């Protein structure tokens, strides 16, 4: 398709040609030509957010729940700088986002013009790639390239900065079918010899483990299916990072739970004791590895990743495999079947017996109460009420996030939306809005803390304006809970500025926005209140008052190894002498 049109019209046409039907944005002077072009068309719906950071988080939620590219439109200067946190979040978690920013006219660039900033310079460290388009002749090509870069290889955010005069200028629009990126061509298929080496190493293992990450989910549903089939064929236990939850079903016996700082005892101990580790689409970040020199110290390590820069970045591996998770897993499946491989049955029986002993510790057990709601219990009851529904769960960041990861059991990918790498408070509500836009008939719940939710509470206006029945399920303990926990355990109980003072009345706040407010304080009232929340077809703020002193366990303190966990007092007898299979820090 070639047609004469303005730069602003090219933006809308490019979005339509890329299959974009929803756009998250906030207008301003430097993007008014694009907003005027939006006014004259019906193919792309604009979702008006109340803050540019929330625009990116909404696009992330849309992208993660749908598998499509999330798209953002913001103005120059503060519009672009407000989006930076969201862009950094998307980069850390490998989320495909195209962010279109306005810029002052080209002749004013560098003159400190009104609402000017060096968007390309500012966003270079927090994007996969970015562009400043100075000539309308390049605009269509750049827009299509941006989508290609955002979603191919390791996904990530791309910024396209468009000066206002380029938006007004006329030029020839070129469709995506005529665009070919000449330099960025990620490697998708691994070498046959690497695949053969991997399956033979797995077959030789006595204590193997599959360690899966967000790359399995980003690769698409075929990757999750291949992972499940490979696990079934081999009988190998599976654990996951925070970002990988849902790639392997939580109900499966081979699932060990989440790995890492707040992972399960059995997952962390199995990782520490394995002899062959297969890392699939994860990057060995510090919340997973703990102390590097004590990380799976006696194991051979296979690392499958589409991003070459992730290989040997944090942990030296024995067999690096660069490629797309789907293609690599499918190739491993084919090779395993063709060679009719199997693991040592006696060794695997012994390995699973050891894992069952670790499971018997019941590391997620907590002290129940008839008088006050325990946060773990609140998540369990929310899960029980929603497990048979079409549900998408987002979170803010903190204790509630970890409890959600521990107690909400995910059977399918793309249902869990959380800020993993950057740990962004304020992520959950706009992400839930993005998921609700992508899935209008689904139940979208933001599990929140009373501190985090205030970071982007203004997005209740977006939910109300667009009739989005998102549910904000606040675990309200009146503390920045994870900060308080670290201050208690590591800083002598000196609670410096972690108490949530001057909180709003969340029920009244919901009413003020035009939503529905609810509050629950007693465990016996929780099921009925959750059922009522679900049945309301409007945005809901559910203020769940929980135990202020509850801590999130298990926990690996910073700088410790996987076998040096703090366990909750219900998980293990404090007077019990713990052998060398695990240590209890007190």
Q: Which of 9, 52, 380, 564 is catalytic?
A: 52
> What is the rounded CA–CA span in Å between residue 94 and residue 249?
22
> What is the rounded CA–CA span in Å between residue 214 and residue 66?
15
Q: Which of 115, 354, 458, 548 is catalytic?
A: 115
Please, which residues bridge with residue 158 across strands? 98, 129
Give whole-number Cα distances, 432 to 404, 440, 548, in Å. 15, 11, 26
For this structure, is 5 an active site residue? no
> What is the rounded CA–CA span in Å between residue 386 and residue 445?
10
Cα dihedral 441, 214, 242, 361 sign: positive
Please, which residues bridge with residue 475 across strands? 449, 544
Give whole-number Cα distances, 397 to 50, 285, 500, 582, in Å. 20, 17, 15, 28
> What is the rounded CA–CA span in Å between residue 382 and residue 373?
13
> HSE-up of 512 (CA within 13 Å, CB side)?
9
Classify residue 106 by burial, with Cβ atoms within 10 Å: 0-12, 13-18, 19+. Answer: middle
Contact (CB, 8 A) for 399 and 552? yes
For this structure, is 284 an active site residue? no
Q: Which of 114, 185, 337, 522 is catalytic?
A: 114
Contact (CB, 8 A) for 275 and 351? no
For this structure, is 114 an active site residue? yes
- Measure the N-to-C terminal CA separation of the chain; round to a whole number of Å: 68
Pairing of β 416-417 and β 157-163: unpaired
| Peptide linkage before 554 cis (omega within 30 of 0) | yes
Contact (CB, 8 A) for 234 and 202? yes
Q: Which of 92, 277, 460, 482 is catalytic?
A: 482
Query: Among candidates 584, 257, 210, which has minimal Cα distance to 410?
Result: 257
> What is the rounded CA–CA span in Å between residue 473 and residue 547?
15
> What is the rounded CA–CA span in Å between residue 399 and residue 551?
8
Q: Which of 68, 128, 164, 301 is catalytic?
A: 164
Residue 463 dihedral angles phi and psi, to the nearest 5°? -60, -45
Classify residue 242 by burial, with Cβ atoms within 10 Å: 0-12, 13-18, 19+. Answer: buried
For this structure, is 191 an active site residue? no
Which residues are known to be catalytic?
52, 114-115, 164, 482
């Amino acid at each position: 398709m070639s047609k004469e049109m303005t730069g602003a019209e090219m933006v809308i046409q490019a979005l339509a040609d890329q299959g974009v039907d929803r756009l998250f944005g906030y207008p301003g002077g430097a993007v008014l030509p694009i907003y005027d072009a939006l006014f004259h068309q019906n193919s792309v719906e604009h979702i008006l957010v109340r803050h540019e950071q929330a625009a990116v988080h909404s696009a992330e939620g849309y992208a993660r729940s749908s598998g499509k590219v999330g798209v953002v439109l913001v103005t120059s200067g503060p519009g672009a700088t407000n989006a930076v946190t969201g862009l950094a979040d998307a980069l850390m978690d490998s989320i495909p986002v195209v962010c279109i920013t306005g810029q002052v006219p080209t002749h004013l660039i560098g003159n400190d013009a009104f609402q000017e900033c060096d968007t390309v310079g500012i966003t270079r460290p927090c994007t996969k790639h970015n562009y400043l388009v100075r000539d309308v002749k390049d605009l269509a090509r750049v827009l299509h390239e941006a989508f290609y870069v955002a979603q191919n290889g390791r996904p990530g955010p791309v910024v396209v900065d468009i000066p206002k005069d380029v938006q007004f200028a006329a030029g020839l629009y070129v469709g995506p079918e005529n665009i070919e990126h000449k330099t960025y061509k990620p490697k998708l298929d691994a070498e046959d010899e690497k695949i053969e080496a991997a399956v033979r190493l797995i077959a030789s293992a006595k204590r193997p483990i599959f360690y899966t990450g967000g790359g399995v989910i980003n690769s698409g549903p075929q990757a999750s299916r291949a992972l499940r089939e490979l696990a079934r064929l081999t009988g190998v236990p599976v654990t996951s990072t925070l970002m990988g939850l849902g790639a392997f079903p939580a109900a499966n016996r081979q699932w060990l739970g989440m790995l890492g700082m707040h992972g399960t005892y059995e997952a962390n101990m199995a990782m520490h004791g394995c002899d062959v580790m297969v890392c699939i689409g994860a990057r060995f970040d510090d919340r997973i590895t703990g102390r590097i020199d004590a990380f799976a110290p006696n194991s051979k390590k296979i690392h499958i990743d589409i991003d070459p820069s992730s290989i040997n970045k944090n942990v030296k591996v024995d067999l690096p495999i660069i490629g797309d998770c789907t293609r690599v897993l499918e190739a491993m499946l084919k090779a395993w079947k063709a060679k009719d491989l199997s693991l040592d049955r006696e060794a695997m029986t012994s390995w699973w017996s050891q894992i069952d002993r670790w499971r018997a510790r019941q590391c997620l057990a907590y002290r129940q109460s008839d008088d006050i709601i325990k946060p773990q219990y609140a998540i369990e009851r929310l899960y029980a009420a929603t497990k048979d529904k079409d549900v998408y769960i987002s979170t803010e960041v903190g204790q509630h996030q970890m409890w959600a990861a521990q107690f909400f059991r995910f059977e399918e990918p793309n249902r869990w939306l959380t800020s993993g790498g950057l740990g962004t408070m304020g992520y959950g509500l706009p992400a839930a809005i993005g998921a609700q836009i992508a899935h209008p008939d689904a139940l979208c719940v933001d599990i929140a803390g009373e501190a985090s939710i205030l970071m982007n509470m203004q997005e209740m206006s977006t939910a109300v304006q667009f009739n989005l029945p998102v549910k904000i399920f606040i675990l309200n303990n009146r503390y920045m809970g994870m900060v308080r926990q670290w201050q208690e355990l590591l800083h002598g109980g000196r609670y410096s500025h972690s108490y949530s003072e001057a909180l709003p009345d969340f029920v009244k706040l919901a009413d003020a926005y035009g939503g529905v407010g609810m509050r629950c304080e007693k465990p016996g009232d929780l099921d009925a209140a959750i059922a009522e929340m679900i049945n309301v077809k409007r945005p809901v703020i559910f203020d769940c008052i929980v135990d202020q002193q509850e801590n999130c366990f298990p926990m690996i303190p910073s700088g410790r190894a996987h076998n040096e966990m703090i366990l909750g007092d219900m998980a293990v007898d404090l007077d019990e002498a713990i052998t060398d299979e695990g240590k209890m820090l007190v």
